[in-house]
Amino acid sequence: MTSQTYPLRHVDLDYDVDDIRCRYLQLSSGQVCDSLSERGLKGQAMAAGIYPLIHTMKVAGPAFTVQAIQTPNMDCVNVRLGMVTSLFKGCVQVRNSGGNVSAGHFGEVNATAARAAGCTGAVLDGSTRDSNMLIEIGFPTFCRFRSPVESFGRYMVTDYMVPIQVQGVDGLLRIDPGDFLIGDNDGVVVVPRQMTVSILEAAEQRARKETDGRAQVAEGANPLDVQEKIGRF
């Protein structure tokens, strides 16, 4: 099969990706998660255990979803190559593992190709290998575990830019193409696509209140007074 077998799949976004990404990167995953919870979405964080390779790595961007399965079949290995042409500037590649725990699902070659296509990071409900190289090239990568084992014959990418399910804090969490991801050393949060801008604005307001409250408490203010004054402590 050739790359022509694999269609271009994009998502239309009604905001400037670079601007929104930069603003989200100024926030914490906790601030975004709290803002979602205030609107009734309390289960939008991926399950514990998915963390960056080093604590300073952060990701923020619209989701480029990747579906995978656990299989010894190698007939469709080129899907992982064909999908690269659909990657878009500012996106974050997010993969499920198909239940596989016996191989490395994403490595330095994957990251190099993804970065060249405009992808800004990867979130894996699974594993990576070439971890030191990923750190050295500075490609933000989040994973559940690491493995030196080649994935061919164990794990296969079967589709991309389709709804996927990953492990979430309250069970399976659906991620649609274009949902917004933010990840830091505390974990990864998924913002529904249509709420990307409104949640950003709410989280920014929350961050300003936290900064104000932190400064007041550092100067000796009574935490109860701060809570009553700004509604946040």
pLDDT of residue 2: 46
pLDDT of residue 1: 39
8 A C-beta contact, residue 46 and residue 168: yes
Q: What whole-number distance in Å separates Cα of residue 231 and Cα of residue 189?
A: 24
pLDDT of residue 232: 61
Structure letter (DSSP) for residue 195: G
8 A C-beta contact, residue 188 and residue 29: yes
Q: What whole-number distance in Å separates Cα of residue 106 and Cα of residue 96?
A: 11
pLDDT of residue 50: 96
Q: Which residue has the tokens 């309250």?
A: 170
Q: Give the gyration radius of the chain's Cα atoms.
A: 19
pLDDT of residue 3: 43
Q: What whole-number distance in Å separates Cα of residue 231 and Cα of residue 46?
A: 28
The reported pTM is 0.91
Structure letter (DSSP) for residue 49: T
Query: What sign results for the dihedral spanned by CA atoms 107, 113, 115, 121?
Result: negative
Q: What whole-number distance in Å separates Cα of residue 115 and Cα of residue 181?
A: 17
pLDDT of residue 153: 61
Written as six digits, the tokens of 13 are 């976004």
What is the full DSSP assignment across 17-33?
A: HHHHHHHHTTS-HHHHH
165 forms bridges with which residues in the sheet? 174
pLDDT of residue 171: 95
Ordered per-residue pLDDT tens for the chain, 233 residues: 344 567 888 899 999 999 999 999 999 999 999 999 999 999 999 999 999 999 999 999 999 999 887 777 766 556 777 788 899 999 999 999 887 777 667 888 889 999 999 999 999 998 899 999 999 999 999 999 887 776 666 677 788 999 999 999 999 999 999 999 999 999 999 999 999 999 999 999 999 988 887 887 888 877 777 777 776 65
Report the phi/psi class of residue 118: left, alpha or beta, with left for phi > 0 and alpha for psi in -120 to 50: left
pLDDT of residue 183: 98
